[in-house]
Amino acid sequence: MENKLKGIEEVLLMGPGPSLTYPEVYEALAMPTLGHLDPYFIEIMDGIKGMLQEIFQTKNELTIPVSGTGSAGMETVLVNLIEPGDSVLVVINGVFGKRQLDIAQRLGADADALEFQWGTPVIPAEVEAKLRKKKYKIVAMVHAETSTGVRNPAEEVGRLVKEHGAFYILDTVTSLGGIEIAVDKWGVDAIYSGTQKCLSCPPGLSPVSFSPEAVDFIMNRKTKVPNWYLDMSMVANYWAGKKRAYHHTAPINMLYGLYAALHVVLEEGLEKVYRRHGEMHKKLAAGLEDLGIKMVVEPEFRLPMLNSVWIPEGVDDAEGRSRLRYDHLIEIGGGLGDFAGKVWRIGLMGNTAREEYVDRLLKALADIIK
Amino acid sequence: MENKLKGIEEVLLMGPGPSLTYPEVYEALAMPTLGHLDPYFIEIMDGIKGMLQEIFQTKNELTIPVSGTGSAGMETVLVNLIEPGDSVLVVINGVFGKRQLDIAQRLGADADALEFQWGTPVIPAEVEAKLRKKKYKIVAMVHAETSTGVRNPAEEVGRLVKEHGAFYILDTVTSLGGIEIAVDKWGVDAIYSGTQKCLSCPPGLSPVSFSPEAVDFIMNRKTKVPNWYLDMSMVANYWAGKKRAYHHTAPINMLYGLYAALHVVLEEGLEKVYRRHGEMHKKLAAGLEDLGIKMVVEPEFRLPMLNSVWIPEGVDDAEGRSRLRYDHLIEIGGGLGDFAGKVWRIGLMGNTAREEYVDRLLKALADIIK
């Protein structure tokens, strides 16, 4: 019987995630599986919670990884905080804001969208105007819009949301571990992320964190959460309860991987990690300019870890990426949604944000556009 | 900074899952991460689908692993097939049947329960009587009740459900890869399982399969699935569509692990694997009898891979299991729900169903009850 695993090549992952997994994470994934109620495994869970609190800059007790990929984190946050008829404002400037809106609508929310042009950031004054006109229970936004490479003003919007007494939901799938996130300082009530971006752990888990006010709401909902798997009132008992009651079997080895990834990031130090992302971004941007490749986002709103560029003229989208993949063993991402066929997305995430990889990519790009 | 991963010991996992991971699976988990849209990764996905079809004995095109643990599979099947107000019959004789009911109720189903005593199997004649009295859209049952160790008559119940024109949902989290499952022959419309039981891959994925009739229903629902992450009408595009459109980032390395596990199982051969589970079960049952430890379930209804025993008199539940864990490096499971504090659960799942492990456990049990 054929075994396809034997043919897996080492591809330099410079797309929108997954990024290049840390060696320590590979090692962790292959460590002996323990039971999900094993006392030593529970110590590992506690270690993960503590490290997530550090990287999210929060004291929130309910700071845990959800057993699913980043989108499961989005689902978790929305399904736990929304009850049918709740008024929700979703601030949108890309695919992932639209996804928040879609989920809110599926959950029966009275959801309004405030849309901004793709490739440009959210404008706080317009959010404020919207908040003055209508009382919202929840405001949701994406910090790092993975579909465009824009960094949204999460702190400013947070201040406004708090002034208007709403819950503030923030998507940090792409930003966590690459730029600063300060949950408590920014007044975030519910946040979610992914492991396969700047944490450089394979996809499979979604770190989330809920403020005490959000937890209080969840524990006193009028209706049961219409999602058993992601119901935080029960999941919390397993991750943070005194009795550590069984809910669902946790993804043990993936959690080893996340533990290792967080450990690597915190050993390097958050300040240093953020600086590395910024410096590699500058190096990449300069190199792209030399090649005549134009970035989509204005310099002051760019994310260091997700660089959108207009597909160079004369280069076919699929063919160009295919040549990178097969001639150079490099993956970059295509465009999503409105940007499909127009934009390429270059990731500098976690373990991928290194000088040698930036150089290798720039050389490969020079080859395929010549 | 402390690194807790360094302290992980090799524990013999003989509880209700996770089981002892196959060496080939550990190796697979640590292989280079590819992108979730990488052409070679898509070949690996196709390999997984084909192997799952074989082990589920089905031609169903929509036969894929869901990006979450077994309970996410339960959620997936129910949330995709239930619309508010739908009549659902849940046949219950343990914790996991109760969980199906809980989810159906959260989704707004008109849900009836048909309950049987824990430790005894579902009686098809009573299911038939219920089906004669009321028209149900869906009948859901657990094949291998992990909380009790009972094997339910899945084929007989399937015949009845089909006669009455309902969708048949079957939970095979614990049975897949340990005893025969024949999706097409039994008339199952939606089935789900887990990876951490008889497939001996760490938890994190849930294989599911939907009949063409079930897929047809999902594609033509009156309401959107109230769960974006698990909406099969979109997930199917990524796993089985012609364009393989991005939905959410798949858990790449976990999928390598599942590929490896399925490969190991099919290389050994299903018949042989089932026989091994049966033989090890007999050996264990005989050894337990010698020790005076009594099994909960009557011989003809026992699952080979999940053996419930009454906690031996004079032995404290927690202390007994703790001695197994620390003195003998063996994990077994405690009781769930009504069986908490009364029952222990001994797993013989996949890689754990081996003579040397049965011997090691029996010796350890002899030590702690003496």
What length is written for chain B?
370
Predicted TM-score (pTM) above 0.90 = yes
pLDDT for B244 = 87
Residues of chain A neighbouring B3 (CB-CB closer than 8 A) = 263
pLDDT exceeds 90 at position A243: no
- Calpha distance A127→A57 (Å, rounded): 25
B23 phi/psi in degrees, rounded to 5: -55, -40
Is B242 in the same domain as B285? no
Are β-strands A62-66 and A306-310 bridged in parallel, bridged antiparallel, or unpaired? unpaired
Q: Answer yes or no: do B67 and B108 share one domain.
A: yes
Compute the C-alpha angle A248/A208/A99, nearest 5°.
100
- Do B251 and B316 share a structural domain? no
The verdict on B316 and B349 lying in the same domain is: yes
Helix (H) or strand (E) holding B75: helix B70-81
What per-residue confidence (pLDDT) applies to A45? 97
Sheet containing B306-310: order of strands: B306-310, B343-347, B333-334
Q: Quick one: DSSP state of residue B19?
A: -
Q: Tell me the residue range of the domain where B170 lies.
A: 24-266
- Contact residues for B286 (Cβ-Cβ < 8 A; gap 6+): none
Show Cβ contacts of residue A306 under 8 Å, excluding neighbours closer than 6 positions.
Answer: A16, A144, A146, A149, A174, A345, A346, A347, A348, A349
| pLDDT tens-digit map of B118-141 | 999 999 999 999 999 999 999 999
| B222/B355 same-domain check | no
Percent over 70 (pLDDT), chain A: 100
Tell me whether B74 touches chain A (CB under 8 Å). Answer: yes
Q: What is the pLDDT of residues A4-20, one digit of tens each?
A: 999 999 999 999 999 99
Bridge partners, residue B112, by sequence: B89
Within this chain, do residues A328 and A252 fall inside the same structural domain, yes or no? no
**Mean pLDDT of the region B174-187:** 98
pLDDT band at A129 (very low <50, low <70, confident <90, very high): very high
CA distance B314 to B295: 17
Answer with the one of A221, A250, A266 that is the final residue of a domain. A266
Burial grade of A358 (CB within 10 A; 0-12, 13-18, 19 or more): buried
Interface of B with A in 269-298 (CB under 8 A): none
- Cα–Cα distance measured from residue A331 to residue A333, given in angstroms and rounded to the nearest whole number: 7
CA neighbor of B100 nearest in space, from B200, B228, B190, B1 = B190
Q: Does residue A68 belong to the interface with chain B, where contact is any CB pair within 8 Å?
A: yes
List the single best residue of A51, A74, A75, A254 to mutate versus B (max B Cβ within 10 A). A254
CATH of residue A305: 3.90.1150.10
Distance CA A170, CA A190 (A): 6
Q: State the pLDDT at residue A44.
A: 98
Residues A190 and A53 reside in one and the same domain: yes
Single out the residue of A134, A208, A202, A153 nearest to residue A176, CA to CA: A208
Nearest neighbour of A17 by CB, restricted to B67, B225, B249: B249
Q: What angle do CA A31, A36, A41 make, to 5 degrees?
A: 55
pLDDT at site B87: 98
Q: Does A17 touch chain B (CB under 8 A)?
A: yes
* A240, HSE (Cβ side, Cα atoms, 13 Å): 18
For the cut 90, the answer to whether the pLDDT of residue A244 exceeds it is: no
B60: left (phi over 0), alpha (psi -120 to 50) or beta: beta
Q: Looking at CA atoms only, how far is residue A130 from chain B in angstroms?
A: 27
Burial-class residue A160 by CB neighbours within 10 Å (0-12, 13-18, 19+).
buried
Q: What's the whole-number mean pLDDT along residues A36-55?
A: 97
pLDDT confidence of residue A242: 82
User: Is A227 found in the same domain as A78?
Assistant: yes
Tell me how far CA of residue B50 lies from CA of B237, B240, B252, in angstroms. Answer: 17, 11, 17
Average pLDDT for B14-28:
98
State how far the alpha carbon of B346 is from the alpha carbons of A355, B145, B179, B332, in Å: 52, 13, 16, 5
pLDDT, residue A241, reads: 82
CA distances from B17 to A169, A237, B93, B351 (A): 35, 20, 19, 11
Checking DSSP bridges between strand A333-334 and strand A343-347, what pairing results, if any? antiparallel
pLDDT of residue A153: 98
Residues of chain A found within 8 Å of residue B102, distances taken between Cβ atoms: 228
| B161/B130 same-domain check | yes
Q: Which residues of B touch A227 (CB under 8 A)?
A: 75, 79, 106, 226-227
Contact A249 B17 (CB under 8 A): yes
| Secondary structure (3-state) at A88 | strand
User: Residue B119: what pLDDT?
Assistant: 97
Q: Same structural domain for residues B10 and B28? A: no
Q: Is A54 exposed, middle or buried (0-12, 13-18, 19+ CB in 10 A)?
A: middle
Peptide bond before residue B202 is cis, with ω within 30 degrees of 0: no
Q: pLDDT per residue over A171-206, tens digit each? A: 999 999 999 999 999 999 999 999 999 999 999 999
Domain termination residue (choose one: A266, A285, A309): A266
Q: Which residue among A10, A68, A251 places its CB closest to the CB of B202?
A: A251
Counting the structural domains of chain A, the total is: 2
B324 touching A, CB under 8 A?
Answer: no
Whether the CB of A225 is below 8 Å from some CB of chain B: the reply is yes
| Contact present, B197 and B305 (Cβ < 8 Å) | yes
Reported ipTM: 0.98
End-to-end Cα spacing for chain B? 43
Mean local confidence (pLDDT), A351-355: 98
Of A40, A252, A267, the CB nearest to B203: A252
Residue A112 has pLDDT above 90, yes or no: yes
B110-115 and B87-92 as β-strands: parallel, antiparallel, unpaired? parallel
Asked if B5 lies within 8 A of A260 by C-beta distance, the reply is yes
Q: What is the pLDDT of residue A137?
A: 98
CB B204 within 8 A of CB B251: yes
Quote the DSSP letter at residue A142. Answer: E
| Min Cα–Cα distance to chain B from A11, Å | 7
Instruction: Quote the minimal CA–CA distance from B132 to chain A in Å.
Output: 30
Q: What is the CATH number of the domain that holds B246?
A: 3.40.640.10
Residues B274-317 pLDDT 10s:
999 999 999 999 999 999 999 999 999 999 999 999 999 999 99
Q: What is the pLDDT of residue A76?
A: 98
Nearest to A67 by CA among A193, A207, A177, A176: A207
* A227 at B interface, C-beta within 8 A: yes
Task: Please check whether residues B100 and B198 belong to one and the same domain.
Answer: yes
Domain boundary among A211, A237, A266: A266
Residues A314 and A202 in one domain: no
> Using the beta-carbon criterion (under 8 Å), do A29 and B33 form an inter-chain contact?
no
